[in-house]
Structure 1
Amino acid sequence: MNVNEVEEQMEEEEFEEELHETIGYLLMEVREMLAVFLLVVGHNTRYCLIRKTFDRSHYNTSQNFNKVLKALHSIVADMMVKPGAAVPEKIRESTRFYPYFKAACNFDLEFIYVLSGWEGSAHDLSVLTDALSRNNGLKVPQGKFFLVDGGYPNRRQFLAPFRGVRYHLQEFTGQGRHPEDAKELFNLRHASLRNVIERIFGIFKSRFKIFKTAPPFHFKTQTDLVLACAGLHNFLRRECRSDEFPVETETEVLPSSSEQVYEDGNFDQLFDTQEQQRANANAWRDAIANQMWSDVEHVVNIN
């Protein structure tokens, strides 16, 4: 081996060593950036403590946090769960809910869609209208519907409870507080299914303690932060299942099947006015509630 070959080999070895050091430094830098982000959102740690922990300037700490936020925000749409065409197993295998409810829901405590940026005082219907009007907005699968609370008007794609009727689960707790008519039974089962929404937000706030109070960032950063953490929440639910959805105990005795099935095609006639649409949706809800009550009375009479 001549002198030139020896020098070339030494240069290659030096280059490989520098390359490995650079890659190692970059990996360490990425891990540190992610650690900074998780400390801020997961523990509500302030920049002043993070600067001391990692021996970084305020500017560097802020830059690292925002780099991770930007990266997560860019992929958050892909991290949202897409509603499937099939009826969820939790509904399909429960005679309390099926065939009455065929909701486009997710029982793995994952977000399907998140719209961030509206003030808390905004009316629910305004937020929903905005979500539906966007190009990448909320989509309702064909033949399915979402369960909504009493703040929304009852529609074919958004099934609301009966107003002025007992609804919350605690209102049915205790001896002698069972549903007394079709509307109360409907509301009880509606609330039982919607309870998963309350639970997902409880887990979300426990996981990301920064949302316990108003985050100390500009409004635009706050809206991006909600979306990024929602996507991160879905990732953790899939990859780190430490908060499994518990199996609920069936407390009602219901028939094993029902002959009447409520398909969207039964009510797919188009109407000219919102009043007609509301009347149609209310009639559909009444039919579901009455069928539930009829099934329960049938079982009681048999027994």
Structure 2
Amino acid sequence: MLIRDQERIVNMNYIYNCNDTEALWMLRMKRAPFAMLVRTFRSRGLLEDSMHTTVEEQVGMFLHVVGHNQRFRVVHNTFRRSMETISRSFKQVLYAAGELRGWMIRVPRSQAATYRGRKHYTRQNVLATVDFDLKFTYVLAGWEGSAHGANILNDDMSRHDGINIPDGKFYRRDVGYACRPAVLPPFRKTRYHLNKFAGRNYPRTPQELFNRRHSSLRVTVERAFGALKNRFKILDQKPFHPYPTQVKLVLACCIIHNWILQWGVDEFVPEEEDVTPDEVINSGHGVEAFDNEAWKNKRLEWAQAMWDNRVQTRICSRRTSGRRRKRQQQKRGKGSSTSAAEEEEHEEEAPS
């Protein structure tokens, strides 16, 4: 037996027999979701063992590329497979992951825009929605990096296969978007980020209280994207693939991200206290002129209702703070610590 074949067998045994810690480092997911992903690809006929490579090895090579942003030549040294075999397996797994989109995530039938001819390093803009389980519920990839998010959203909402927002629901957006039906941005020219309410810098107006709570919801979005980029380094670094492949990679990584979260969070998902939201800057694209007056008034009504009920919120916070503190102590194994409910109580309570 050739030394190359011996190294290949040793490597495959490592994949089959590694523990969860080793699997997280190597495959970017624990053993259970990896095994079930391979089984799903097999049962749906999306991937099959070839004469030389198993499905496990094909998926392992793909995850090495997207998880560590490795070139095929580096993966060749690890798996001892030819560059042609690695390239073919990469394309097959990329296609197989995309075929799970109807089950794991929603994407438009036709990508809204294609990249048009720049010869330097490319960037793309991605429109995505996230639920409170940190899963991506809708993804539109492929817009050029210079496009403004509000323009992407306007185009997508005008399409028959675009984003679907149920009646009575809305998506939280940042200050660069217009206030319109189903789209809820914060108040402009008003304190927004949580760090601006630290200490005794309490909200002084209904608009500031609304912005503070709006900002706290943003942590969920930041955690979802943080986990995605932590797990799949190919999304956070300069890729080595053509632009059409980059678009498919965004969708595939979001689909696999949702798949993994079925087994709970892991080390790649940042904790809430570790998330530092990026500064949101109003890009000055003139979107304020298109604000919907009815929704502006509704947002103001909600802000006033929050302001009027803030005392009741503090009472509820006191009732739940003891239970949350106890759970935190059990989880962290430390002494007493301030709970999330208490922090919100202290930050929102105006001085007497």
Query: TM-score scaled to structure 2, two decimals?
Result: 0.60
**Which residue of structure 2 lines up, in the alignment, with residue 114 of structure 1?**
139
Q: What letter is aligned with 1:168?
A: H
Q: What letter is aligned with 1:280?
A: A
Deviation track 1:43-76 (CA, whole Å, cap 9, x = no partner) reads 1122111112222222221111011001111222
Cα distance between partner residues in 2 of 1:117 and 1:46:
22
- Report whether the alignment pairs 1:162 with 2:187: yes
Aligned counterpart for 2:247 among listed residues 223, 226, 229:
223
Cα distance between partner residues in 1 of 2:53 and 2:290:
62
**Using a 3 Å threshold, how does the CA distance of structure 1 residues 245 and 48 change in structure 2: closer, same or farther?**
closer
Give the deviation of 1:148 after TM superposition.
0.6
Aligned counterpart for 1:64 among listed residues 80, 89, 92:
89
Contact 1:81 1:110 in 2 (8 A): no
- Report whether the alignment pairs 1:189 with 2:213: yes
- Report whether the alignment pairs 1:281 with 2:305: no
Cα distance between partner residues in 1 of 2:214 and 2:50:
53
**Using a 3 Å threshold, how does the CA distance of structure 1 residues 26 and 106 change in structure 2: closer, same or farther?**
farther
- Report whether the alignment pairs 1:178 with 2:199: no
Alignment of 1:68-83 (within 5 A): 68-80=93-105
Please give the secondary structure, in 2, of the residue aligned with 1:113: strand
Deviation track 1:70-116 (CA, whole Å, cap 9, x = no partner) reads 1111222321279xxxxxxxxxxxxxxxxxxxxx9621110011110
Give the deviation of 1:167 after TM superposition.
0.7
Q: What letter is aligned with 1:190?
A: H
**Using a 3 Å threshold, how does the CA distance of structure 1 residues 135 and 71 change in structure 2: closer, same or farther?**
farther
Aligned counterpart for 2:69 among listed residues 44, 47, 51:
44
Cα distance between partner residues in 2 of 1:277 and 1:210:
37
Structure number with bigger Rg = 1
**Using a 3 Å threshold, how does the CA distance of structure 1 residues 277 and 126 change in structure 2: closer, same or farther?**
closer
Please give the secondary structure, in 1, of the residue aligned with 2:200: coil
Deviates more, 1:26-35 or 1:205-214: 26-35
Q: Runs of 5+ in structure 2 lacking a partner?
A: 1-47, 108-128, 274-287, 315-348
Give the deviation of 1:282 after TM superposition.
0.4
Alignment of 1:246-285 (within 5 A): 278-285=292-299
Q: What letter is aligned with 1:207?
A: R
**Which residue of structure 1 lines up, in the alignment, with residue 151 of structure 2?**
126
Deviates more, 1:282-291 or 1:122-131: 122-131
Give the alignment's Cα RMSD to 1 decimal: 2.8
- Report whether the alignment pairs 1:242 with 2:256: no
Please give the secondary structure, in 2, of the residue aligned with 1:229: helix
Contact 1:117 1:223 in 2 (8 A): yes
Deviation track 1:234-279 (CA, whole Å, cap 9, x = no partner) reads 000113532578689xxxxxxxxxxxxxxxxxxxxxxxxx979711
Deviation track 1:148-178 (CA, whole Å, cap 9, x = no partner) reads 11111011201110000011111112x2211
Contact 1:144 1:157 in 2 (8 A): yes
Cα distance between partner residues in 2 of 1:212 and 1:247:
20
Q: What letter is aligned with 2:260?
A: L
Contact 2:206 2:307 in 1 (8 A): yes
Aligned counterpart for 2:59 among listed residues 11, 34, 39:
34
Give the deviation of 1:290 after TM superposition.
0.9
Aligned counterpart for 2:168 among listed residues 143, 167, 182:
143
Determine which structure has greater relative contact order: mean sequence separation of CA pairs < 8 Å that are 6+ residues apart, divided by chain length.
Answer: 1
Cα distance between partner residues in 2 of 1:206 and 1:117:
21
**Which residue of structure 2 lines up, in the alignment, with residue 214 of structure 1?**
238
Cα distance between partner residues in 2 of 1:118 and 1:53:
34
Please give the secondary structure, in 2, of the residue aligned with 1:118: strand
Give the deviation of 1:194 after TM superposition.
1.9
**Which residue of structure 2 lines up, in the alignment, with residue 204 of structure 1?**
228
Q: What letter is aligned with 2:100?
A: I
Cα distance between partner residues in 2 of 1:288 and 1:240:
34
Query: Whose strand proportion is higher, 1 or 2?
Result: 2
Please give the secondary structure, in 2, of the residue aligned with 1:112: strand
Cα distance between partner residues in 1 of 2:52 and 2:134:
32
Aligned-pair identity in percent equals: 39
Please give the secondary structure, in 2, of the residue aligned with 1:41: helix
Deviates more, 1:72-81 or 1:147-156: 72-81
Cα distance between partner residues in 1 of 2:149 and 2:272:
31
Cα distance between partner residues in 1 of 2:226 and 2:214:
19
**Using a 3 Å threshold, how does the CA distance of structure 1 residues 134 and 68 change in structure 2: closer, same or farther?**
farther
Give the deviation of 1:33 after TM superposition.
1.0
Contact 1:108 1:245 in 2 (8 A): no
Give the deviation of 1:184 after TM superposition.
0.4
